[in-house]
Amino acid sequence: MHETDMTKALILTVRQWWEEQPSRPQIDTIHLTVGQFTCVEPASLQFAFAAQTQKGFLEGVKLAIHETPLVAFCHACQEEYKPKIGLHYSCPSCQSPMEDIRSGRELKIDRIEYTQSCVEI
């Protein structure tokens, strides 16, 4: 279950960011981008995240996962196409192999939404 490890890595990185913030803000949502051409299953990641954040600074924090499709670019045809994961990866027009992946390999912490008290001057 590598989603467990992925979640640990995620929490570690977010904690680092959080501790660098002078105000230690209340995090509301963590936005991730996860490509379909990775080994991550979003549902398992949600599950692991919920389990690992029951206590601590991320308690109750939402995880929003934005999936990106696998998109490849065929240089021969100068065209993007969507390979069918599990079935077919070469270009549907000219059968060139999948060489240039334009999307689908992302595993990224995109942004963090948090609440901040306004500073009174």
Partner 1 sequence: MHQTVEAALEINLLHANQAGANHNRAHFDQWGITCLNIMSSPGAGKTVLLERTLAALNPDLKMAVIEGDMTTELDAERLRQYGVPVIAINTGRSCHLDSKMVSGGLHSLAADYNPAEFDLVFVENVGNLVCPAEFEVGEHGKVALISVTEGEDKPLKYPIMFQEADCLLISKIDLAPYLDIDLNRLESNVRQINPQVTIIRLSAKTGAGLETWLTWLRNQVK
Per the CB < 8 A criterion, the answer to whether 58 and 26 are in contact is no
- Tokens standing for residue 72: 């490849």
64: DSSP letter = E
- For residue 38, the partner it binds in Zn ion, partner 1, none, with Cβ less than 5 to 8 A by kind, is partner 1
Give dist(CA 90, CA 94) in Å, integer. Answer: 8
Annotated binding site: 2, 74, 77, 91, 94
- Tokens standing for residue 45: 């990641």
Interacting residue with partner 1 among 59, 60, 87, 121 (CB under 8 A): 87
Q: Does 58 bind partner 1 (CB under 8 A)?
A: no
59: DSSP letter = T
Annotated binding site for Ni(2+): 2
Q: Tell me the three state secondary structure of residue 16.
A: helix
Interacting residue with partner 1 among 22, 39, 54, 59 (CB under 8 A): 39
Q: Does 71 bind partner 1 (CB under 8 A)?
A: no
Per the CB < 8 A criterion, the answer to whether 113 and 28 are in contact is yes
Binding site for Zn ion (CB under 5 A): 2, 74, 76-77, 91, 93-94, 96
Q: Which stretch binds partner 1 (CB under 8 A): 54-62, 74-82, 107-115?
A: 107-115
Helix locations, 21-105, DSSP H: 42-52
Residues that bind partner 1 (CB under 8 A): 1-2, 4-6, 9-10, 12-13, 17, 25, 28, 32, 34, 37-39, 85-90, 97-99, 107-118
